Amino acid sequence: MFKLGQRVVIVADSFEQGMPIGEYGYLIGRDRNPDSAFAWIVRIPKIDKQYAVPEEDIALEEKLIEQEAERIQREALLDFALATRNEALFRQLMGMQDEAADNGDPVKESMEEFIRKVNIKAWI
């Protein structure tokens, strides 16, 4: 997944080494010792230090940007579904099962029941 010399972002500090989370670093070495918990050696130029880190603590910038774009797109679609009262799109985004599709017969639920389900799923 990673290659030497790649630019990575510190996303966690599992071993509490005092790493600056969110900072950029460069992979300068790989630890191939099977007994070691650390997989990579990262150089962080901003603070002029090197850290041995597990693979879970670093991520590629491209992956982080892609995940953020997907999250923003999902939130925008959810806002659009709520603003236009598009129940089908809302159900699809929230992963709610459609009772009519499961049973094969149309089931009409009341607006109060739909609002109750929305409020249960809301993170407000």
Which contacts (CB < 8 Å, 24+ apart) does range 11-16 have?
A: 11/57, 11/58, 11/59, 11/64, 12/56, 12/57, 13/57, 14/54, 14/56, 14/57, 15/54
Name residue, tokens 């109060």.
112
Fold designation for 7-60: SH3 type barrels. (2.30.30)
CA distances from 26 to 33, 40, 78, 94, 118 (A): 20, 10, 37, 38, 44
Tokens 């089908």 belong to which residue?
88
pLDDT (tens digit, 9 = 90+) per residue, 11-51?
A: 999 999 999 999 999 999 998 888 999 999 999 999 999 99
Q: For residue range 83-121, what is the model confidence (pLDDT) as tens digits?
A: 888 888 888 888 876 554 555 545 567 777 777 777 777
The domain segmentation of the chain, as residue ranges, is 7-60, 62-121
